[in-house]
Amino acid sequence: MLLGLLVLAAVALALPVLTGLGDRRRGHGPAHVLIAGLFFPVTWAVWYVRDEQPYQRAGAH
């Protein structure tokens, strides 16, 4: 039981920390990094839309 909680806590802490590090690598400052880490699922969605542009037409460059 304790081992399961420790693994869950490690994953729960790793995702925001890694998101913050990724945001820092993208060139943002400390405040933006903290917000990105706290709201990591939203951050991932925003990154996906900005990077992939999934709703853009194929020939609309």
Domain residue ranges in the chain: 2-51
pLDDT the model gives residue 21: 94
pLDDT the model gives residue 58: 63
Q: Answer for the pair 43, 36: CB distance below 8 angstroms, yes or no.
A: yes
pLDDT for 34-52, tens place per residue? Answer: 999 999 999 999 998 888 8
Amino acid at position 13, single letter: L
* Mean pLDDT, the chain, integer: 88
For the full predicted model, state whether its pTM sits above 0.85.
Answer: no
pLDDT the model gives residue 54: 67
Q: Which residues contact 24 (CB under 8 A, 6 or more apart)?
A: 33
Q: What is the mean pLDDT of residues 20-31?
A: 93
